[in-house]
A = this chain, B = another copy of it.
Amino acid sequence: MRVSDIPKIRSLMLFKDMDEDSFSELTRAAYVQDFPPQVDLILEGDRCDFLHIMIDGSLELFAEWNRHETALTILRSGATFILAAVVRDAPNLMSARTLEKSRVIMIPAEDVREIFQKDHEFARAVVMELAYCYRGVVKGVKSLKLRTSIERLANYLLKWQKKTGGSDSFTLGIEKRRLASILGMTPENLSRAIKTLRPYGVEIDGQNVKITDPDALKGLAKPSPLIDDPRS
């Protein structure tokens, strides 16, 4: 663990309110690892004895069934995984693979459980984090079951625009085939969905997105805070 990583970790939701003693106990027990892109960090079905925290880079959580694979989400700096499996001492439901060069902190599950018992603020943060993740997945199910793929794409663009600062021009930040998988569609259909959004003021060229008529896009997307607002 490098000293320079510590403030970054300390500022994360999961750790920022906890006791100083507990925090240093946790960080003493933690490992830091750097990974190149395209590395599988954890495997669906395996047990996982470490809570993982992304410090830098990005990765995808994905799952397989019957020779098909689907991406469930992209995690970036500051995200934790896989808390639920660690907490329940259960097999991972998802695999994780780095997309970029990534730095990850790994805290032994036992230490997490131990500090959980000692430090109320940490316990509270774990509960908040789990509830946050739960709500995120519920929003995903609502989007999948209630929207067409074009509507999901439209809402994804609006959400990502906001996340990247709100400018009308921004970058996708992810390969299109992964985006397609996250949105629950094929790459071919994503291409076609992007064309379909052109009359709604969406111009996508490679990684560059420009939204020229936000109102038209919102008219199609009908974003709802109960599906699309990550904070709600």
- Give me the interface of A with B, judged by CB distance under 8 Å: 44-45, 63-66, 68, 70, 72, 83-85, 87-88, 90-91, 93-94, 116-117, 120, 123-124, 126-128, 130-135, 137-142, 144-147, 184, 222, 224-227, 232
Contacts and interface: CB of A to CB of B under 8 A. Distances in A.
Nearest to A117: B120
A5 B94 CA distance: 39
A142 B93 contact: yes
B88 A128 contact: yes
Nearest to A142: B63
Stoichiometry (number of copies): 2
| Most chain B beta carbons < 10 A, residue from A84, A127, A134, A141 | A134
| Most chain B beta carbons < 10 A, residue from A66, A83, A145, A226 | A145
B146 A65 contact: yes
A128 to B, nearest CB: 6
B184 A145 contact: yes
A6 to B, nearest CB: 25
Given A91-B232, A137-B141, A141-B72, A44 B226 contact: yes
A135 B87 CA distance: 11
- Top 5 closest pairs, chain A to chain B, by CB: A84-B131, A65-B146, A130-B130, A137-B137, A70-B145
